[in-house]
Amino acid sequence: MMTELGVVRRKVKRAERAAVEALGRCGVATVHEAMGRLGLMKPYMRPIYPGALVSGTAVTVLLHPGDNWMMHVAAEQIEPGDIVVAAITAECTDGYFGDLLGTSFMARGAKGLVIDAGVRDVKTLTEMGFPVWSKCISAKGTVKATLGSVNVSVVCAGAAVNPGDAIVADDDGVVVVPAEWAIKTAEAAKAREANEGDKRAKLAAGVLGLDMYKMREPLEKAGLKYVD
């Protein structure tokens, strides 16, 4: 799928719903590991309030610096369970999104917004419980003058996102799972999680990772020296 301007794609093949929900239960760090350590957005993407954890399918928007016209076009393409992923054609910190658009997105069933730019009205958005992951917070308003696109391939905060991809976002950041990998990644993530309870119990009891992961021998081979 190409990145184009002036296009709205209405039919999007979304990642399988149960897999998307399963990914959400695992959280970003686990999903990113299950992906083979790929798909993570840059760490400058931060939630506007702590504690949110969502997963959903991507409706992508491509916007110009200082122009949020296509946000309104994107609203119509939202289906319940979607997360809007907004990319800008160049670096921008403007506040593209506030409580009015937030109200509209919630009414359409969106579970959150991920935007590689700024957001405003964050106090109201927090009260509404509409989570946003953004590069910054800025009251700077935007114009509505130039066409972008909806549901094309975009790069958001360093990650390639196609419409319909699974998005997981929490306090650790935002990860993108390609739609066709959602099911196997969900399985891999669940397997990792199942494994963690036992490890956590051992570590809490004072067992060292050195022993649990059998690291002493490879460390010695690599030449690690203990001195007093």
What is d(CA 12, CA 193) in angstroms, rounded to the nearest whole number?
30
Closest C-alpha to 161, from 179, 182, 184: 179
Q: For its own copies, which residue of 99, 115, 131, 189 counts as binding (CB under 8 A)?
A: 99
Smallest gap from residue 21 Cβ to its own copies (A): 19
> Which range binds its own copies by CB under 8 A, 14-22, 47-55, 183-191?
47-55
Contacts (CB under 8 A) with its own copies, residues 4-43: 4-11, 27-29, 32-33, 36-40, 42-43
Backbone angles phi and psi of 144, in degrees to 5: -135, 85
CB burial of residue 26 (10 Å; 0-12, 13-18, 19+): buried
| 93 near its own copies, rule: CB under 8 A | yes
Contacts (CB under 8 A) with its own copies, residues 137-196: 137-141, 143-147, 153, 155, 158-160, 170-173, 175, 178, 181, 196
Both tokens of 210, joined, read 């050195």
Contacts (CB under 8 A) with its own copies, residues 197-216: 199-200, 203-206, 208-210, 213, 215
Smallest gap from residue 109 Cβ to its own copies (A): 10
Mode of pairing for the β-strands spanning 46-47 and 173-177 = unpaired
Which residue's CB is nearer to its own copies, number 20 or number 116?
A: 116
Closest C-alpha to 60, from 43, 46, 73: 73
